[in-house]
């Protein structure tokens, strides 16, 4: 089955991974800007990273017939440095008309601090000003519930936000209901230890239905599995779910959400 991985950090993966994804049926990926494993020191460091996302990765993916899209921001972890964050936010518009840039992301919170919240709100302003969709990272482990509620407070508190153009990612059992009930898209991240397994993701699909629900691998440089979406497909098939339901979650829904961006020029496989 053709599928789309709506959240994967291919700059951290090998070319062999692109080949494997292609063999497994992956036809497109979207790559949010994230933390590189160390704090970058300058806005120019981010400019180089955005060039990598918009130029290098797109070309690398194309060699395997995979369409590559991306999202730009300074991530929540580095957002603790407000001065640097403002320099990066001021530079992002240079890239927004680049083919393949879908919007602002993955913005969010990490430790739910005041500085992270300030930078989140300034990213929101950027997205509103340039009419960009938003992809949001929610925190890990014990910080997730509090951080997700804080993020929803900030989004819900601004009437200019079009909720149909916002994806709140890394939802789990204790955060998915609030995200969907408030009208946002929700992403489930399939991780070996933290976040959720393919089995628990399948449970959430059964409990909440497939509307506005996406699944991703969030494959990166840490413990993660870039082929996690085929694992979810396999789990749903084992339970006897229809191909239509599976396709909606792993293919139709990402296409519908990404189409909120004018830069999403998807080429369907014929």
Partner 1 sequence: MPSPADATQLLDRHFLEVRARLLEVAATLDRLDRAEGEVTRDARREQIATAISILADAKPGRAERLQRLFSRDYKASWRADMQV
Interface contacts to partner 1, rule CB under 8 A: 112, 114, 117-118, 121, 141-146, 149-150, 153, 157, 172-174, 200, 202-203, 205-207, 209, 238-241
Looking at the Cβ atoms of 104 and 151, the one nearer to partner 1 is 151
Looking at the Cβ atoms of 191 and 258, the one nearer to partner 1 is 191
CB of 264 to partner 1, least distance (A): 28
Looking at the Cβ atoms of 51 and 149, the one nearer to partner 1 is 149
Looking at the Cβ atoms of 112 and 132, the one nearer to partner 1 is 112
CB of 118 to partner 1, least distance (A): 6
CB of 268 to partner 1, least distance (A): 27
Backbone angles phi, psi at 242, to 5 degrees: -75, 155
CB of 77 to partner 1, least distance (A): 17
């Amino acid at each position: 089955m053709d599928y789309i991985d709506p959240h994967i950090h291919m700059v951290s993966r090998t070319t062999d991974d692109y080949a494997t994804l292609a063999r497994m049926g992956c036809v497109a990926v979207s790559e949010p800007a994230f933390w590189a494993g160390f704090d970058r020191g300058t806005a120019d460091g981010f400019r180089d990273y955005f060039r990598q996302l918009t130029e290098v990765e797109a070309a690398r993916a194309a060699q395997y017939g995979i369409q590559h899209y991306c999202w730009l921001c300074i991530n929540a972890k580095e957002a603790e440095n407000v001065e640097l964050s403002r320099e990066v936010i001021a530079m992002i518009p240079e890239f927004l008309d680049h083919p393949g840039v879908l919007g602002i992301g993955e913005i969010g919170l990490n430790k739910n601090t005041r500085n992270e919240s300030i930078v989140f709100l300034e990213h929101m302003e950027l997205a509103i000003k340039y009419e960009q969709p938003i992809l949001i990272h929610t925190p890990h482990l014990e910080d997730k519930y509090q951080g997700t509620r804080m993020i929803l407070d900030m989004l819900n508190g601004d009437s200019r936000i079009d909720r149909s153009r916002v994806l709140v990612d890394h939802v789990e059992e204790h955060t998915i209901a609030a995200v969907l009930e408030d009208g946002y898209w929700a992403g489930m991240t399939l991780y070996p230890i933290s976040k959720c397994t393919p089995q628990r993701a399948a449970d959430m699909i059964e409990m909440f239905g497939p509307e506005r629900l996406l699944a991703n691998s969030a494959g990166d440089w840490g413990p993660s599995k870039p082929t996690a979406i085929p694992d979810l497909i396999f789990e749903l098939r084992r339970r006897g779910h229809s191909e239509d339901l599976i396709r909606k979650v792993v293919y139709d829904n990402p296409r519908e959400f990404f189409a909120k961006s004018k830069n999403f020029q998807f080429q369907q496989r014929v």
